[in-house]
Amino acid sequence: MPLRLSSLRQRSRGLARRQQGSATVEFAVSSVVFFSTLIGLMKMCLALYTFHYVAEAAREGSRYAIVRGTACSGFTTACPANTNGSDTSNFVKGLSYPAISPTAMTVTSSYNNFPAGKVCTPSSACNNPGDQVTVQVQYAFPLSIPFLPSNTYTITSSSSMIIQR
């Protein structure tokens, strides 16, 4: 009997020697998968944050334009707003949210007679109370997740409001 017990001990020692580095290899493989998933999840959360910001920026831009119609008074700058949208674009790009680059943003404004829907040109007076302004914001979002190809996605939102003053 003692002979058999010693042979089992020798076999278990040999088995333990063959498995010494297996925990390190398993940790390396699983940590690569875990951290790639974690980084991908954080990037997708940043994309969702950017979508929310673009929608908010469009609303803020249209609100900026509706209080700066032809009947506006009391503002020291941009009263009335330019119908080419330059001051609205500068306002939206100046909002400066964290992790948002103003250079990757495009802001366009359009004015319509309301409710007829006739599109106005920048030379015509379509910035009157009761007319409609639409502000569209586009943002080029660079998405890069480990082990996947990097792409740039365009996130777009628009907001329409009726000019009040």
Higher pLDDT residue, 33 or 84? Answer: 33
- Give pLDDT, residue 157: 95
The answer to whether position 121 is within a domain reads: yes
The answer to whether position 17 is within a domain reads: no
The answer to whether position 104 is within a domain reads: yes
The answer to whether position 36 is within a domain reads: yes
> Does position 39 have pLDDT exceeding 70, yes or no?
yes
Q: What is the pLDDT of residues 98-132, one digit of tens each?
A: 888 999 999 998 888 766 656 665 545 677 788 88
The answer to whether position 68 is within a domain reads: yes
Provide the greatest CA pair distance for the chain: 107
Q: What is the pLDDT of residues 60-83, one digit of tens each?
A: 999 998 888 777 777 766 677 777
Name the domain count of the chain: 1
Distance of CA 131 to CAs 47, 49, 82, 85, 126, Å? 34, 32, 14, 15, 7
For the ranges 52-61, 82-91, 93-102, which has the lowest average pLDDT? 82-91
Q: What is the mean pLDDT of the chain?
A: 82
The answer to whether position 2 is within a domain reads: no
Mean pLDDT of 80-100: 83
pLDDT band at 153 (very low <50, low <70, confident <90, very high): very high
- Give pLDDT, residue 130: 81
- Give pLDDT, residue 147: 84
The full 3-state SS of the chain, as one line of letters, equals CHHHHHHHHHHHHHHHHHCCCHHHHHHHHHHHHHHHHHHHHHHHHHHHHHHHHHHHHHHHHHHHHHCCCCCCCCCCCCCCCCCCCHHHHHHHHCCCCCCCCHHHEEEEEEEECCCCCCECCCCCCCCCCCCEEEEEEEEEEEECCCCCCCEEEEEEEEEEEECCC
Determine the distance from the C-alpha atom of residue 53 to the mean position of all C-alpha atoms in its chain, rounded to a whole number.
6
For residue 148 the two structure tokens come to: 């996947």
For the ranges 21-25, 28-32, 80-84, 139-143, which has the lowest average pLDDT? 80-84
Range of the structural domain that residue 47 is part of: 25-162
Residue count of the chain, please give it. 165
Rounded Cα gap, residues 134 and 65, in angstroms: 9
- Give pLDDT, residue 164: 80
The answer to whether position 152 is within a domain reads: yes
CB atoms within 10 A of CB 69: 22
Prior bond to 80 cis, omega within 30? yes
The answer to whether position 8 is within a domain reads: no
Question: What percentage of the chain has pLDDT greater than the value 70?
Answer: 79
Question: What percentage of the chain has pLDDT greater than the value 90?
Answer: 36
User: In the chain, what is the straight-line distance between the N-terminal and C-terminal CA atoms, in Å?
Assistant: 102
